[in-house]
A = this chain, B = another copy of it.
Amino acid sequence: MQSLTKQCLSIIKTRPQESHKGTFGRTVLVGGNAQFGGAIMMSTEACVNAGSGLTTVVTDSKNHQALHARMPEAMTVDWQDKEVCDAVLASADVILMGPGLGEDEKSRELLTYVLQEQTEDQLLVIDGSAITLVAQNNEQLPYPKQTIFTPHQMEWQRLSGIKIADQTEEMNQAIQQKLEATIVLKSHRTEIYSNTGCFYNPLGNPGMATGGTGDTLAGIIAGFLAQFPHSVDTINAAVYLHSYIADQIAHDNYVVLPTKISQALPYWMKKFEI
């Protein structure tokens, strides 16, 4: 298992002069029920600040106004509006499914729907309660190699069947190879298991142990995949930068509010641009 270093940020290349919104990808975020609207808002704030060309949020209509108030740069779609959802999902380069999705019947339906709609050109990041739903319903992934799971340890237990105490590198890797999906296993030292290698993130701090840190990471991963190569390198960079920025904030802050990480993304991406 290889430790990530600053070197992994070298995927953040100077953007080509002749470019437009489409150059940097279309990201669709699906999540945010009536109770957990904040989660999808934090993912959105992360995704837009991470540089996704166009960001659309499929969420309960209850969340649209707060989303717009915080982040007018993102578009909103009512997840009841199947016709618009179809069109929006079809246009996506990357889909992030799960932040604040919940675990009820509607959530389940949405998960099944997104899995059906995913095409072979699209990446799918599965986060939060969507991971639990995949595990509970034993959902089959249409394109496992294009799928990224971002579980914390308990969600990984549900998905992999490995109890937290038994989540060793070997066990995790074995299940990853069966799943074929990429696994971003979040803990105080996050590990990435992929078809092309295993990595761990040496950064991070306990000020990040607050609600929304994971939603923010998921948003950065999605935003990075929208504009950078579809490889584990891009996921590694997202994981590393998320913690790197949090460590900078933690120099002066006992708690690291997730939205502060998002707001600092443009600055730090510029610093590391090559």
A residues at B contact (CB < 8 Å): 12, 15-21, 23-24, 34-39, 41-42, 45, 48-55, 61-78, 84, 152, 187-188, 205-207, 209-213, 250-259, 265-267, 269-270, 273
Contacts and interface: CB of A to CB of B under 8 A. Distances in A.
Contact of A73 (B17, B54, B78, B257): B257
B267 A36 contact: no
Contacts of A187: 20
B69 A70 contact: yes
Given A35-B75, A38-B71, 11 more contacts: A15-B209, A20-B188, A34-B61, A36-B75, A39-B72, A50-B255, A52-B210, A66-B66, A66-B69, A68-B70, A255-B266
B209 A73 contact: no
Contacts of A34: 61, 64, 78
List of 3 A-B pairs having minimum Cβ-Cβ separation, nearest first: A254-B269, A15-B206, A38-B72
Contact of A270 (B51, B213, B254): B254
Nearest to A50: B255
Contacts of A252: 266-267, 270
Interface centre among A16, A68, A187, A253, by most B CB within 10 Å?
A: A68
Given A75-B211, A252-B267, A64 B62 contact: yes
B270 A53 contact: no
9 contacts: A16-B206, A20-B187, A23-B209, A50-B255, A66-B66, A73-B211, A73-B257, A250-B270, A254-B273
Chain A facing B: main interface SS: mixed
A17 B38 CA distance: 26
A132 B16 CA distance: 28
Contacts of A74: 38, 211
Contact of A254 (B41, B48, B51, B188): B51
Contact of A188 (B17, B257, B273): B17
Contacts of A207: 15, 266
B270 A76 contact: no
A15 to B, nearest CB: 3
A39 B72 CA distance: 7
B73 A210 contact: yes
Given A21-B209, A66-B69, A77 B255 contact: no
